[in-house]
Amino acid sequence: MPPRKSPFFELRSGSVDTLLFVVKTTDLDAIRAELTRRFEATPEFFANDTVAIDVRRLAAEERVPLADIAQLLDSVRMRPVGIVADAAQQTWASGAGLPFLEARDRRGAASKTDSEASSEAASDTQAAPGAAETPAEAAATSSATQPAEPVRVATSAQTLVIEKPLRSGQRIYAKGDLVVLGLVSYGAEVIAEGNIHIYAPLRGRALAGVQGNHDARIFCTCLEPELVSIAGIYRTTENPLPADVLGKPVQIRLDEEKLMIEPLRLT
């Protein structure tokens, strides 16, 4: 007879969306310095995102202290949930105490460029046979609908135009200005070194001037965000927006170190 189905929990196979943190050096100090440089201007950008540590780019004889890398990721509020490694690497990588994950890369770890390393690509990952499902994986499995797409990164300072709506899990990075013509859904993120223009509702996160450009601005036609930030100065929905800007056309700018959210008169 088949076992009775428990009304209290269920164990089943599934896939979750997570980021790959692709390790390309054994120099822990260099990794620490680069993490600090990348995230000091955008402290909330990857907050509480799950991440798998991918060591497949390392040479066969190279080793890295994975427990220390997991601690570094945790210091920038990312949540390591596992390790992606080749079969030959699993012997030394198992010492970190994290489960091994199998990655189905959309582009392949070996083909990623340095310009994509700001966040690497979002990937579908699946626990290797026999690996325990973590609470983060279980939560993601129960809530996942469709896989997140890779981060799109502009390769020059020219304006990047995104014509399609962005769904939860999608991230866009522009080295110049960014123009979005569709909805930025809850859980989606747009980030630019210059200005951000959103001609649709902003319900996710928008971060402008991320390399310290205090003159950058955010413009949108309907403000309903999870987070907005300019040059690392941010505001979340934990601090409710005034009625005169919530759901309205606005511009967001800095006045010295203060984030200003002002109604935008379109007529």
Residue 1 domain-assigned (yes or no): no
User: CA separation (Å) from 157 to 40, 72, 114, 153, 225?
Assistant: 21, 30, 16, 11, 25
Spatial neighbors of 12 by CB under 8 A, at least 6 apart, are none
- Which CATH number characterizes residue 227's domain? 2.160.20.70
Domain count, the chain: 2
Instruction: Check if the beta carbon of residue 93 is closer than 8 Å to that of residue 67.
Output: no
Query: What is the domain extent for residue 119?
Result: 16-143
- Which CATH number characterizes residue 39's domain? 3.30.70.260
Boundary (domain end) residue, out of 91, 120, 143: 143
Could you tell me which residues are beta bridge partners of residue 190?
172, 206
Sheet bearing 50-54, strands edge to edge: 79-84, 50-54, 16-22, 122-127, 101-104
Alpha-carbon span 19 to 80, nearest angstrom: 9
Residue 45 domain-assigned (yes or no): yes
CA–chain centroid gap for 172, Å, is 10
Same domain flag for 65 and 84? yes
pTM (2 d.p.): 0.49
Query: Which tens digit of pLDDT belongs to each residue from 210-255?
Result: 888 999 999 999 999 999 999 888 888 777 899 999 999 999 999 9
Query: Which tens digit of pLDDT belongs to each residue from 151-186?
Result: 555 545 688 999 999 998 888 988 899 999 999 999
Alpha-carbon span 164 to 111, nearest angstrom: 26
Query: Which tens digit of pLDDT belongs to each residue from 119-152?
Result: 333 333 433 333 333 333 332 333 333 334 445 5
Boundary (domain end) residue, out of 90, 117, 143: 143
Treating both helix axes as pointing N-terminal to C-terminal, what angle do 28-39 and 66-75 enclose, rounded to 10 degrees? 20
In degrees and rounded to multiples of 5, residue 256 shows phi and psi of 60, -115
Same domain flag for 180 and 74? no
Instruction: Check if the beta carbon of residue 172 is closer than 8 Å to that of residue 183.
Output: no
Report the candidate in 33, 120, 26, 115 with the shortest Cα–Cα distance to residue 72: 33
